[in-house]
Chains A and B, each alone.
Chain A
Amino acid sequence: MSYFYIASYPKSGNTWVRIFIKYLHLIKDCKGDFRNKNFHIDINNNLNTGEIYSSRSWIDEIIGIDSSDLSSIEISKLRSKIGRKKPIYSEKLNYIKVHDSFKDGNNIKIIDSKGCKGAVYIVRHPYDVACSLSNFFEWNLDDSIKFIIDKNACLTRQKNSLKYQVPQHLGNWSSHVESWLNQKSLPILMVRYEDLHLKKLETFTKISNFLNLSNNSDEIKIAINNSSFKKLKKFEIKNNGFTGSVKVKRQFFNKGEVGVGKRILSDSQKKIINGYCYDTIEKVFQ
């Protein structure tokens, strides 16, 4: 089985990219002239681009035992052998969503590379990630910043919203980005979240090419248009939520604004982030 990873730190555009991929698949599979069709996906029920890499039920199926009977370290040691096998009844495409760092805090490789064709890694400026985390988890900005700079940051099984998933080591924002960009096991396409907004056609075309999906700019434009933030937000309001948001009160698709952190964060808050992330910010956003 060949597959790709769509990887990112949380709140960095992962779902957006997978919605684009889904639309592109619909367009490619469409019989007749795709320009005259109205494409619609219910993103709560048939996004179906692929499993999330931390899915407990998937891991349990592949390891043959119950992962909840294992410690976090024991689980970490197994995970780099999971991706290569698709769940048995899954009809999903092979674009696996990942929020894990490439290696965990103990330097154990988490990501399976066997059979993998590559990874799209989406990176978003940590100032904006801080604002988005704050909105999503209802944390104040200082707590979001603490999370972003925490070398042990983890999406854990203790949170109600993650019962279906095993703990995911993120590390701090910078180590997350570096872990993916510096690994040598997989071909990687790094895209900036900001470019998904500001250089839409160019950036989504790069993604489409990397995933061997389409070179046709009309197809890509229609997929971009269908997966616009405005449409996603409208869908979420109409359907009383997006299941990707699991159990939170606020909207998953908020404003998706670029540069909001620069405006909202105080100088001292920016300084704290820079203290931990400056080199990576320079490297990625120069």
Chain B
Amino acid sequence: MLTNYYKAFGLIWKVENLELSQLLKLNNSDKIDIVVKEDNLLEWGNYKEQISDTYFYRIRKNIVSILIKDIGILEISNGNQILFKRDSLNVEDRDISNFILGSAIGVILIQRDILVFHANAMEKDNKSIMCLGPSGAGKSTVAYVLMKRGWKLISDDQVALKADGSVLQGIPRIKLWKESMDKLKIPTKNYIKVRKNINKYIIQGDMDNNFNPCKLKAIYILKINRNEVNENFSKIKEIKNEKDKFINLRDNIFRPRFVRGLGKESNNFVKLSGMIKDFKLFELILPNGIENMNQFLDENEL
């Protein structure tokens, strides 16, 4: 049996018979926080659907089961175990690892009472920023442009905040569509696809075994530039009202239905309220085109 050890979100992950190559790999570890392994899982059978459940997942006590059609099942329990089952032998390792990294790890963090955002986080000069925005808002493109400008990617997709408002090193990679790769002039042949039939590629950021969580300086909510007439249109506006700040952050919590189903919502809101004064929140519309974006970033310090 092949066993791999990884470090992410300040936790040690022991993974059996699967590579999670987008995480920081360790040679070995005596301390283990989470175990990831294959198991002969069953669908949820007699478990009755609760209010936060959907056709695709069931949440009971501290266990979340996710059914991924034609791929398999993930069962995440007690903040310390991820079990997976493949639907068939045709399901590749990268299919499973992709969904473990994409959802199961987030559930582990939620189960551990960690505040997780659907976002990415970058660091420069010991200060970090977080970019929020719905799927498709361009967070990964912005992250890539910032990486090229000397920023270090701390985590993508899921950003975990400590109680003191500092950001934990998580999954330091971005996933870019071929269309975005072409625009950024990145040759796709040098990169691996997230899954065989998906034209989305993994760009790995640097991983640092000695990474120190750094304080969050600002949060940006990315909005799409709708102004096609003026490609150079951009806007940066601070959201000062605390209620607006709270709602904007609440709306970008990672998988909020899992949070509610696991009974962590009020705990999350208390944490959020506690730290809301510690950082600035901005609405950010970046100009279209990489050159325009770079020019904007030359003129505006994030």
Contacts and interface: CB of A to CB of B under 8 A. Distances in A.
Given A65-B68, A65-B99, A88-B256, A163 B226 contact: no
B195 interface: yes
Given A70-B198, A247-B228, A64 B255 contact: yes
A153 B195 CA distance: 25
Contact of A247 (B195, B198, B224): B224
The main secondary structure of chain A at its interface with chain B is loop
A64 B250 contact: no
B281 to A, nearest CB: 17
B56 A69 contact: no
A74 B99 contact: no
Contacts of B173: none
Nearest to A163: B136
A246 interface: yes
Given A69-B200, A85-B54, A164-B136, A64 B228 contact: no
A59 B302 CA distance: 32
A253 B102 CA distance: 39
Contacts of B175: 68-69
A66 interface: yes
Interface in B222-273: 224, 226, 228-229, 250-251, 255-258, 260
A79 B68 CA distance: 13
Interface residues of A, number: 32
A65 B66 contact: yes
Contacts of A85: 54
Interface string B29-63: 00000000000000000000000001111000000
Contact of A62 (B56, B98, B157): B56
B78 interface: no
> 6 closest A-B pairs (Cβ-Cβ)?
A163-B136, A81-B55, A64-B57, A56-B135, A63-B56, A164-B136
15 contacts: A57-B134, A63-B54, A66-B135, A68-B135, A68-B175, A68-B198, A69-B195, A69-B200, A78-B69, A81-B56, A84-B55, A163-B137, A246-B226, A247-B224, A249-B229
